[in-house]
Structure 1
Amino acid sequence: MAHLLGAEALHLEFPTRVVFESVTIGINEGDRVGIVGRNGDGKSTLLKLLAGRLEPDSGQVTVRRGVTIGMLDQGDSIDPDLTVGQTIVGDRLEHEWAGDANVRDIIRGLAGDLDWDAPVGDLSGGQQRRVALARLLSGEWDVIFLDEPTNHLDVEGIAWLAEHLNRRWAKNAGGLVVVTHDRWFLDAVCTSTWEVHDRILEPFEGGYAAYILQRVERDRQAAVAEAKRQNLMRKELAWLRRGAPARTSKPKFRIEAANQLIEDVPPVRNPIELAQMATARLGKDVVDLLDAGVSFGDREVLRDIEWRIAPGERTGILGVNGAGKSTLLKLISGGLEPTSGRVKHGKTVKIATLSQRLAELDEHEDELVRDIIARQKRSYVAGGKELTPSQLLERLGFSSAQLSTPVKDLSGGQRRRLQFLLILLDEPNVLILDEPTNDLDTDMLAAMEDLLDTWPGTLLVVSHDRYLLERVTDQQYAVWNGQLRHLPGGVDEYLTLRNQATAGGTARSDRSHPTESNSAAVAAEPKLSGAERRQAEKELAAIERRLEKLQGQLDALDAQLAKHDQSDYEGLTALGNERGALMEDQAALEERWLELGELLS
Structure 2
Amino acid sequence: MHLLSLEGISKTYPENPVLENVSLGISAGDRIGVIGRNGSGKSTLLAIIAGTEEPDGGSIIRARGLRIGTLDQDPTFAADASVGDVVGDDRRAIALADRLMLTDPAARCSTLSGGQRKRLALAMALATDCDVLILDEPTNHLDVDTIDWLEDHLSARTEALLLVTHDRYLLDQVATRVVEVHEQSLFSHQGSYEDYLEAAATRDAHDATVEHRRQQRIKIELEWLRRSPKARTSKARYRVNQARDLVGEQRRRVRQELSIDLPSRRIGSKVVNLANVGKRYGQTWVLRHVEYRLSQDARIGIVGPNGAGKTTLLNLIAGRIEPDEGKVTIGSTIHPGWYGQDPRSLPAETRVHAVVREQADEVRLESGIRVSGAQLLERFQFTRDQQQSTVGDLSGGERRRLELLLSLMEAPNLLLMDEPTNDLDIGTLTVLEEYLDAWEGALVVASHDRYFLDRVCSDIFSIEQDGSVIHHPGGWTAYRTASLVAAASGTKKPDTVKVRPKRQRHTLTYNDQRELDQLTKSIPRLERLRKELEGVLHEAAGDYARTVEISGELAKLIADIDAAENRWLELSEAADRLVDT
The answer to whether TM tops 0.5 is yes
User: Following the alignment from structure 2 to structure 1, what is the Cα–Cα distance between the partners of residues 470 and 196?
Assistant: 35
Are 1:137 and 2:126 counterparts? Answer: yes
Q: CA deviation at 1:493?
A: 5.7
Q: CA deviation at 1:122?
A: 4.1
Are 1:434 and 2:418 counterparts? Answer: yes
Find the counterpart in structure 1 of residue 15 from structure 2: 16
User: Following the alignment from structure 1 to structure 2, what is the Cα–Cα distance between the partners of residues 226 and 68?
Assistant: 41
User: Following the alignment from structure 1 to structure 2, what is the Cα–Cα distance between the partners of residues 208 and 119?
Assistant: 39
> C-alpha deviations, 1:311-342, integer Å up to 9, x for none?
01111111112211122112211122222222
> Is the alpha carbon distance of 1:308 and 1:56 closer, same or farther for their aligned partners in structure 2, counting shifts above 3 Å?
same
Q: CA deviation at 1:457?
A: 0.7
- Please tell me the residue identity of whatever aligns with 1:388: V
> Is the alpha carbon distance of 1:503 and 1:321 closer, same or farther for their aligned partners in structure 2, counting shifts above 3 Å?
farther
Q: CA deviation at 1:154?
A: 2.0
Residue 321 of structure 1 aligns to a residue whose secondary structure is coil
User: Following the alignment from structure 1 to structure 2, what is the Cα–Cα distance between the partners of residues 10 and 397?
Assistant: 25
- Please tell me the residue identity of whatever aligns with 1:350: H
* 8 Å contact kept, 2:102–2:120: no
Find the counterpart in structure 2 of residue 443 from structure 1: 427
Find the counterpart in structure 1 of residue 138 from structure 2: 149
Find the counterpart in structure 2 of residue 292 from structure 1: 277
Find the counterpart in structure 2 of residue 369 from structure 1: 353
Q: CA deviation at 1:286?
A: 0.8
Find the counterpart in structure 2 of residue 462 from structure 1: 446
Are 1:478 and 2:462 counterparts? Answer: yes
Q: CA deviation at 1:162?
A: 1.3
- Please tell me the residue identity of whatever aligns with 2:160: G
- Please tell me the residue identity of whatever aligns with 2:35: V
TM-score, length basis structure 1: 0.67
Residue 485 of structure 1 aligns to a residue whose secondary structure is strand
User: Following the alignment from structure 1 to structure 2, what is the Cα–Cα distance between the partners of residues 295 and 428?
Assistant: 28
User: Following the alignment from structure 2 to structure 1, what is the Cα–Cα distance between the partners of residues 474 and 196?
Assistant: 27
User: Following the alignment from structure 2 to structure 1, what is the Cα–Cα distance between the partners of residues 83 and 485?
Assistant: 25
Residue 266 of structure 2 aligns to a residue whose secondary structure is helix
Give the percent of matched residue pairs that are identical in Structure 1 and Structure 2: 42
Find the counterpart in structure 1 of residue 294 from structure 2: 309
Find the counterpart in structure 1 of residue 197 from structure 2: 212
Find the counterpart in structure 1 of residue 96 from structure 2: 106
> Is the alpha carbon distance of 1:417 and 1:24 closer, same or farther for their aligned partners in structure 2, counting shifts above 3 Å?
closer
State how 1:182-197 maps to structure 2 within 5 Å: 182-197=167-182
> Is the alpha carbon distance of 1:72 and 1:216 closer, same or farther for their aligned partners in structure 2, counting shifts above 3 Å?
same
Q: CA deviation at 1:407?
A: 4.7
- Please tell me the residue identity of whatever aligns with 2:26: I
- Please tell me the residue identity of whatever aligns with 1:483: S
Find the counterpart in structure 2 of residue 586 from structure 1: none
* 8 Å contact kept, 2:38–2:398: no
* 8 Å contact kept, 1:313–1:458: yes
Are 1:357 and 2:324 counterparts? Answer: no
> C-alpha deviations, 1:355-384, integer Å up to 9, x for none?
22343545x9646626843863744444x5
> C-alpha deviations, 1:219-238, integer Å up to 9, x for none?
111145779748889x9xxx
Q: CA deviation at 1:388?
A: 2.4
Residue 435 of structure 2 aligns to a residue whose secondary structure is helix
> Is the alpha carbon distance of 1:231 and 1:324 closer, same or farther for their aligned partners in structure 2, counting shifts above 3 Å?
closer
- Please tell me the residue identity of whatever aligns with 2:69: G
Q: CA deviation at 1:444?
A: 2.5
> C-alpha deviations, 1:163-196, integer Å up to 9, x for none?
1010122xxxx21001122323212211111011
Q: CA deviation at 1:201?
A: 1.0
Find the counterpart in structure 1 of residue 572 from structure 2: none
Are 1:50 and 2:49 counterparts? Answer: yes
> Is the alpha carbon distance of 1:322 and 1:293 closer, same or farther for their aligned partners in structure 2, counting shifts above 3 Å?
same
> C-alpha deviations, 1:46-105, integer Å up to 9, x for none?
1122223333333322233354321222355445555434533x445xxxx3xxxx6675
Match of 2:154 among 144, 165, 170: 165
Match of 1:319 among 293, 304, 308: 304
Task: In structure 2, list runs of 5 or more residues that go unmatched.
Answer: 212-250, 494-542, 548-581
User: Following the alignment from structure 1 to structure 2, what is the Cα–Cα distance between the partners of residues 213 and 372?
Assistant: 36
User: Following the alignment from structure 1 to structure 2, what is the Cα–Cα distance between the partners of residues 599 and 59?
Assistant: 55
User: Following the alignment from structure 1 to structure 2, what is the Cα–Cα distance between the partners of residues 78 and 297?
Assistant: 30
Are 1:27 and 2:31 counterparts? Answer: no
Moved more, 439-448 or 196-205: 439-448
* 8 Å contact kept, 2:417–2:445: yes
> Is the alpha carbon distance of 1:143 and 1:369 closer, same or farther for their aligned partners in structure 2, counting shifts above 3 Å?
same
User: Following the alignment from structure 2 to structure 1, what is the Cα–Cα distance between the partners of residues 377 and 38?
Assistant: 16
In angstroms, what is the RMSD of aligned CA positions? 3.8
> C-alpha deviations, 1:565-598, integer Å up to 9, x for none?
xxxxxxxxxxxxxxxxxxxxxxxxxxxxxxxx99
> Is the alpha carbon distance of 1:411 and 1:104 closer, same or farther for their aligned partners in structure 2, counting shifts above 3 Å?
closer
Residue 323 of structure 1 aligns to a residue whose secondary structure is coil
* 8 Å contact kept, 2:344–2:403: no
Q: CA deviation at 1:489?
A: 5.4
Residue 322 of structure 2 aligns to a residue whose secondary structure is coil
User: Following the alignment from structure 1 to structure 2, what is the Cα–Cα distance between the partners of residues 376 and 445?
Assistant: 24
Residue 142 of structure 2 aligns to a residue whose secondary structure is coil
User: Following the alignment from structure 1 to structure 2, what is the Cα–Cα distance between the partners of residues 20 and 367?
Assistant: 25
> Is the alpha carbon distance of 1:49 and 1:149 closer, same or farther for their aligned partners in structure 2, counting shifts above 3 Å?
same
* 8 Å contact kept, 2:337–2:407: yes
> Is the alpha carbon distance of 1:123 and 1:361 closer, same or farther for their aligned partners in structure 2, counting shifts above 3 Å?
closer
* 8 Å contact kept, 2:3–2:63: yes
Find the counterpart in structure 2 of residue 388 from structure 1: 371
User: Following the alignment from structure 1 to structure 2, what is the Cα–Cα distance between the partners of residues 168 and 45?
Assistant: 25
> C-alpha deviations, 1:463-503, integer Å up to 9, x for none?
22222232222222112231211223533465574998899
User: Following the alignment from structure 1 to structure 2, what is the Cα–Cα distance between the partners of residues 599 and 327?
Assistant: 36
Q: CA deviation at 1:600?
A: 14
User: Following the alignment from structure 2 to structure 1, what is the Cα–Cα distance between the partners of residues 295 and 395?
Assistant: 36
Aligned residues: 455
* 8 Å contact kept, 1:318–1:479: yes
Q: CA deviation at 1:447?
A: 3.2
- Please tell me the residue identity of whatever aligns with 1:465: D
> C-alpha deviations, 1:532-570, integer Å up to 9, x for none?
xxxxxxxxxxxxxxxxxxxxxxxxxxxxxxxxxxxxxxx
User: Following the alignment from structure 1 to structure 2, what is the Cα–Cα distance between the partners of residues 439 and 44?
Assistant: 11
Q: CA deviation at 1:427?
A: 1.8
> C-alpha deviations, 1:128-158, integer Å up to 9, x for none?
2222221221232221111222222222222
* 8 Å contact kept, 1:232–1:450: no
State how 1:168-317 maps to structure 2 within 5 Å: 168-169=157-158, 174-223=159-208, 224=211, 229=255, 281-317=266-302
Residue 39 of structure 1 aligns to a residue whose secondary structure is coil
> Is the alpha carbon distance of 1:8 and 1:411 closer, same or farther for their aligned partners in structure 2, counting shifts above 3 Å?
closer
Q: CA deviation at 1:409?
A: 5.0
